[in-house]
Amino acid sequence: MPVTFIPATPQAIEALTDDSLIGSLSASDLVALLALVLTLVVQIWLFNKQRVAEVRRRTTEDARSVALAEAQDTNARISRTLDVHREYNSAEMAGIRTEARRFVQDNRTIDWVGEANLERFSCENSDAQALFSLMRFFHRVNVLRTLERLDTPLLSQLIGPELAWWQGLAFDPMAGRTHSRTMPDIMQLTTALSLISNAADWQSRIQLGAHEREKVSVTSEGPTGLEDLSRSSPLS
């Protein structure tokens, strides 16, 4: 009697449970049926094994992709932070910092909170625009920081001491300027960096800046109260 192979369909498997069908099968039919069942079980096992292997492969690839993306993002944040530090120490910014310091020292009696028009105190020796340029620089830094585009611990090490010095020199007296667009970001930046810096060192830098505010500014025709006009702070 020839062997009849039954397709492995749900209907065929359901039919296999029919007692009348099983009772009518010969020995060879039972062997073929058993072989079919074993084949089906092996196929299911192989399918599940391949599926698990594929899931593991994809998980591994995803993990590698995530790790690579994180490493690239970390490197990008470090690079941008170094760019910020280079900009702060550029020749152009050094001139801005020097003039901003002069402006604060020349106008120590200004109502830094209530005075809306600081430009009217500009003179040949110093210009309020230099101070505004410096404020916009720190404003940009904080925007990049809040967008997580910078490495904050590295930023704290590179410009944290400088920021604390400027905080004592100019930013603390100006902290209450509610009409300033940049001051809220500057104060947010000082808070964020001070929290991950040495508290005593940060306070000492603030005191140095406050002490510097009381010094007499130097002009080409005036007294020489400062040793080095090429630097806007002793921390550069």
User: Is residue 74 scored above 90 in pLDDT?
Assistant: no
Token representation of residue 14 = 């359901």
User: Is residue 3 scored above 90 in pLDDT?
Assistant: no
Nearest-angstrom CA–CA distance, 25 and 5:
12
Predicted pLDDT at 230? 35
Predicted pLDDT at 223? 36
pLDDT band at 224 (very low <50, low <70, confident <90, very high): very low
- Burial-class residue 186 by CB neighbours within 10 Å (0-12, 13-18, 19+): buried
Nearest-angstrom CA–CA distance, 176 and 197:
24
Mean pLDDT computed over 59-86:
81
Predicted pLDDT at 55? 79
Tell me the whole-structure pTM to 2 decimals: 0.67
Structural domain boundaries in the chain = 10-66, 89-213
* Per-residue DSSP letter, 151: -
For the chain, the average pLDDT equals: 82
